[in-house]
């Protein structure tokens, strides 16, 4: 789809979502870790891109294992899979709370148990349905501390079919903490000889085979975001954020743009005002920094990003620009990685922050 298409008579921003690129990224991950099962993490509405569409695509690629964060997300996913007549395992990272136990049973969700307390509660509420155990190896966020592992392993009635842990520094493959966590995990996984082992998310999938174990849990790489501190060219862009020009104006040297007058023209300047703002998920931290593509040229955000509007400095754009033309803030032409960097954030936050007003369009 062209970033300059005028056929889309929209008044606001939208995101083009290339499900073929999701499939290509899934294939790239499978090829990078051929000996492991490739699951898919679809928490947070598939990183903002739409749980139903993404899960439908992945189920069609024979993805058999999904992860979400909250049981409510798992129940939504179960509904989607049932509508496809697809059977798949759904693990819930955050595990159960006493009042969410019934949802696990009714939606056939497998909990990831994260502590001795959670494991004990599970055994008293539920039958021997299989579960995952998350063991913390240094993240100190979620997961059972190593000191609890023996007690969990000896709990009666607990049927653990997956042990997992999570890397704290996978965004930097050379970080020594990756190897520390890998060794700790490999050792503790030996205590569960009947369970499969899973350490890696997107970053670890693209690291060497010692990080792959039996099952990999990629999220961001499926959605075209780099899991690393540098851009990752092996992945195809999935999402393209676009918005139409609603007004054009010329200002003279000395005039200012937007709230706080933070942009001051030093020369005659042409501006395009675009229908996208922080209310749609374009962070104000990108003010004066983000580069959009419009009419085949780069144009920088001039001044503060406001709730529903952004001003682009189009002075140096060679091609004429008119209202209704489309600016692309990330996608094929300008990378999600670069735009996120310009906002002092990462691909994860940009995608999951896309607002409810942003129309999701599937290609």
Ligand X SMILES: *Cc1c(COP(=O)(O)O)cnc(C)c1O
Residue 148 CB contacts under 8 Å (≥ 6 apart), including other chains: 115, 116
Dist CA 145 CA 223 (whole Å): 31
Q: Which member of 78, 196, 217, 300 binds ligand X (CB under 6 A)? A: 217
Does residue 55 interact with ligand X by CB under 6 A? no
Kindly indicate which of the ranges 9-17, 72-80, 150-158, 200-208 contains the residues binding ligand X, using the contact rule CB under 6 A: 200-208
Q: Does 228 bind ligand X (CB under 6 A)?
A: no
Dihedral pair phi/psi, residue 322, rounded to 5°: -130, 165
In angstroms, what is the minimal distance from the CB of 64 to ligand X?
Answer: 16
Which of 43, 91, 278, 348 is flagged as catalytic?
43
In the bound state with ligand X, the residue whose beta carbon lies nearer, of 93 and 122, is 93
C-alpha dihedral, 22 to 221 to 238 to 78, nearest 10°: 50
Q: Which stretch binds ligand X (CB under 6 A): 49-57, 80-88, 198-206, 297-305?
A: 198-206
Q: Which stretch binds ligand X (CB under 6 A): 16-24, 101-109, 214-222, 285-293?
A: 214-222
Q: Which residue in this structure is represented by tokens 């520390």?
A: 180
Q: Which is nearer to ligand X, 235 or 310 (CB)?
A: 235
For position 220 contacting ligand X by CB under 6 A, the verdict is: yes
197, 163 Cβ separation under 8 angstroms = yes
Shortest gap between Cβ of 115 and ligand X (angstroms)?
15
CA dihedral 282, 288, 289, 293 (to 10 degrees): 70
User: Encoding tokens for residue 330?
Assistant: 């990330």
Q: Which stretch binds ligand X (CB under 6 A): 13-21, 218-226, 274-282, 304-312?
A: 218-226
Residue of 100, 181, 202, 352 interacting with ligand X (CB under 6 A):
202
Q: Is 93 in the site for ligand X (CB under 6 A)?
A: yes
Catalytic residue among 91, 177, 190, 259: 259
In angstroms, the CA 296 to CA 3 distance is 9
Collect all residues with Cβ–Cβ distance below 8 Å to 179 and sequence separation of at least 6.
none
Does residue 166 belong to the site contacting ligand X (CB under 6 A)? yes
Query: Cβ 353 to ligand X, closest distance in Å?
Result: 15
Residues that bind ligand X (rule: CB under 6 A) add up to a total of 13
Which residue has the CB atom at the shortest distance from ligand X? Answer: 219
| Residue 60 beta carbon to ligand X: minimum distance, rounded to whole angstroms | 20
Among 33, 38, 41, 103, binds ligand X (CB under 6 A): 41
b/e per residue 168-202 (b: at least 16 CB within 10 A): bbbbebeeeebeebbebbeebbeebeebbbbbbbb
201 binds ligand X (CB under 6 A): yes
User: What one-character DSSP code corresponds to residue 144?
Assistant: B
| Dihedral pair phi/psi, residue 67, rounded to 5° | -125, 140
Q: How far is the CB of 53 from ligand X (least distance, A)?
A: 18
Of 13, 95, 227, 258, which lies in the binding site for ligand X, with binding defined by CB under 6 A?
227
Active-site residue flag, 43: yes
Interaction between residue 219 and ligand X (CB under 6 A): yes
Describe the crossing of helices 51-60 and 19-32 by its angle, rounded to 10 degrees: 50
User: Tokens representing 140?
Assistant: 């100190």
138 forms part of the interface with ligand X (CB under 6 A): no
Task: With contacts defined by CB under 6 A, name the span among 17-25, 219-227, 294-302, 305-313 that binds ligand X.
Answer: 219-227
Exposed, middle or buried by CB within 10 Å (0-12, 13-18, 19+), for 65? Answer: buried
Minimum CB distance to ligand X smaller for 292 or for 347? 347
| 259: annotated active-site residue | yes
Q: Which two tokens stand for residue 236?
A: 């195809």
At 184, list the tokens. Answer: 């700790």
Contacting residues toward ligand X, per CB under 6 A? 41, 43, 93, 166, 201-203, 217-221, 227
Active site residues: 43, 259
């Amino acid at each position: 789809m062209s970033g300059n298409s005028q056929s889309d008579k929209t008044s606001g921003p939208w995101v083009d979502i290339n499900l073929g690129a999701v499939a290509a990224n899934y294939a790239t991950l499978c090829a990078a870790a051929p000996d492991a099962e490739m699951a898919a993490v679809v928490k947070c509405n598939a990183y903002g891109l739409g749980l139903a569409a993404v899960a439908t695509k992945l189920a069609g690629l024979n993805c058999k294992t999904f992860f979400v964060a909250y049981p409510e997300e798992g129940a939504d996913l179960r509904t989607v899979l049932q509508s496809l007549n697809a059977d798949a395992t759904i693990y819930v990272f955050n595990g159960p709370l006493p009042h969410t136990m019934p949802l696990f049973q009714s939606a056939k969700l497998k909990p990831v148990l994260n502590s001795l307390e959670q494991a004990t509660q599970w055994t008293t509420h539920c039958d021997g349905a299989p579960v995952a155990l998350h063991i913390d190896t240094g993240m100190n966020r979620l997961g059972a501390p190593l000191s609890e592992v023996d007690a969990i392993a000896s709990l009666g009635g607990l049927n653990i079919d997956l042990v997992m842990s999570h890397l704290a520094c996978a965004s930097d493959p050379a970080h020594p903490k990756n190897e520390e966590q890998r060794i700790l995990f490999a050792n503790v996984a030996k205590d569960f000889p009947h369970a499969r082992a899973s350490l890696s998310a997107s970053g670890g999938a693209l690291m060497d085979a010692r990080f792959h174990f039996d099952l990999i849990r990629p999220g961001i790489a499926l959605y075209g975001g780099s899991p690393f501190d540098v851009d990752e060219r092996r992945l195809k862009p999935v999402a393209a954020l676009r918005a139409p020009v609603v007004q054009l104006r010329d200002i003279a040297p000395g005039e200012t743009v937007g709230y706080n007058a933070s942009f001051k023209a030093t020369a005659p300047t042409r501006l395009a005002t675009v229908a996208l703002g922080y209310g749609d998920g374009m962070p104000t931290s990108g003010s004066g920094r983000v580069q959009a593509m419009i009419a085949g040229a780069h144009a920088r955000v001039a001044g503060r990003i406001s709730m529903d509007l952004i001003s682009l400095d189009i002075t140096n754009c060679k091609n004429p620009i008119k209202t209704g033309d489309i600016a692309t803030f990330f996608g094929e032409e300008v990378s999600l990685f670069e735009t996120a960097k310009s906002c002092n954030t990462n691909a994860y936050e940009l995608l999951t922050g896309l607002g409810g007003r942003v129309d999701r369009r599937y290609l």
